[in-house]
């Protein structure tokens, strides 16, 4: 077997800048819409009461590689002083079967999910949006924030709410600018110094505000990003003002929900994958209750290539349901591998 590289979290961080990942995720969505890529059925299993796993896989036909991500979540890992999520991604050549790389998929996931939210806002939000609301303060929140900062040029205020632990929002706000600089500036300062400077300017240009009243926060927001593991609606339909765009990032399994399903009575419904969204995404409850017909969910890739409409007016409420596609991971992994050429990043191995 030919040799390939294995990439840990540090090497991945040194090779990725979020604007480049946003372009990669856009490319993945377009490839799917143009039948140049396939998403294969997701496998999901509960592993006891406090753990689950899923396998996401796909094929980038146009670029001749395929692969899969295996991810496991354990709710008890905090007591073990371990990360809640562990994941690994393998990418292979679809013509020869050779392994192209093995990557720490937990490190990739933040980038590609933040990029997915960025694509949602870039193509569905009003471009003069000034106020962003982030609901959730977990590991994914900084990636979502950075993604929005990268694509929304008028963004000034970022409100942060933690529905379960309101006090965590204030702590998060006090620490977030330094955390963003650590994640997205320090990691690429040596490899991409110009981009590092640009990212620092973007971070310095926004103000963070902690709030405990979620209804009040929703009423002020032009863009809302929900990134929680909630199993019940956090946002009620009558709280959302006309013109708001929502990225629903948390519902990626059956039983999860962050938004009042009645929002879909009037909102423009968009997903990364229509079938996956209707079964395990944010639209699942609305589809089950016949509020929303599955056929009325547009796919983001179709909007990018002009096959479907998204926002048609400034007063539309738009919702992007991002359940997560293996194609996003594969395109981001391919970017890591490409950028590692002629560098010392990654560990060269031969099975």
For residue range 315-339, what is the model confidence (pLDDT) as tens digits? 999 999 999 999 999 999 999 999 9
For residue range 248-275, what is the model confidence (pLDDT) as tens digits? 999 988 899 999 999 999 999 999 999 9
For 243, list phi and psi in degrees, rounded to 5: 95, -10
Residue in the structure block whose two tokens are 């050429």: 341
What is the distance between the alpha carbons of residues 33 and 308, in angstroms, rounded to a whole number? 10
Token reading at 95 = 């013509």
pLDDT score for 328: 97
What is the distance between the alpha carbons of residues 28 and 151, in angstroms, rounded to a whole number? 18
pLDDT score for 351: 83
Domains within the chain, CATH numbers bracketed:
4-108+326-349 (3.30.1780.10), 116-321 (3.40.50.720)
User: Which segments in the chain show pLDDT lower than 70?
Assistant: 1
What is the distance between the alpha carbons of residues 345 and 7, in angstroms, rounded to a whole number? 7
pLDDT score for 1: 65
pLDDT score for 2: 83
The residues, ordered by sequence, that sit 6+ positions from 154 with a Cβ below 8 Å of its Cβ are 127, 128, 129, 130
Alpha helices in 186-315 (DSSP H): 193-204, 214-220, 274-280, 284-288, 300-304
Residue in the structure block whose two tokens are 């944010």: 282
């Amino acid at each position: 077997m030919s040799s390939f590289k294995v990439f840990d979290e540090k090497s991945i961080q040194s090779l990725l800048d979020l604007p480049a990942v946003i372009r990669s995720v856009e490319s993945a969505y377009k490839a799917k819409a143009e039948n140049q890529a396939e998403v294969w059925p997701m496998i999901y299993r509960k592993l006891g009461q406090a753990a689950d796993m899923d396998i996401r896989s796909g094929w980038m036909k146009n670029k001749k590689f395929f692969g899969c991500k295996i991810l496991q979540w354990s709710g008890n890992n905090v007591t073990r002083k371990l990360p809640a999520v562990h994941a690994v991604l393998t990418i292979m050549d679809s013509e020869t079967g050779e392994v192209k790389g093995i990557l720490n998929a937990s490190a990739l996931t933040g980038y590609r999910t933040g990029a997915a939210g960025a694509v949602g806002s870039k193509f569905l939000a009003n471009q003069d949006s000034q106020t962003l609301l982030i609901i959730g303060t977990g590991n994914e929140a900084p990636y979502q924030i950075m993604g929005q900062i990268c694509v929304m040029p008028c963004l000034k205020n970022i409100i942060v709410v933690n529905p379960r632990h309101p006090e965590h929002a204030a702590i998060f706000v006090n620490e977030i600018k330094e955390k963003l600089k650590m994640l997205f500036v320090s990691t690429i300062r040596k490899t991409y110094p110009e981009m590092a400077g640009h990212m620092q300017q973007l971070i310095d240009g926004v103000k963070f505000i902690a709030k405990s009243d979620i209804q009040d926060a929703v009423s002020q927001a032009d863009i809302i990003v929900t990134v929680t593991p909630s199993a019940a609606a956090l946002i009620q339909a009558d709280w959302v003002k006309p013109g708001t765009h929502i990225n629903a990032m948390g519902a990626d399994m059956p039983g999860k929900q962050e938004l009042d399903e009645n929002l879909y009575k009037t909102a423009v419904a968009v997903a990364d994958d229509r079938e996956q969204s209707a079964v395990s995404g944010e639209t699942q409850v609305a589809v089950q209750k016949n509020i929303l017909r599955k056929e009325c969910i547009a796919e983001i890739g179709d909007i990018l290539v002009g096959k479907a409409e998204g926002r048609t007016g400034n007063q539309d409420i738009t919702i992007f349901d991002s359940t997560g596609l293996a194609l996003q991971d594969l395109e981001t992994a391919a970017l890591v591998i490409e950028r590692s050429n002629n560098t010392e990043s990654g560990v060269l191995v031969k099975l």
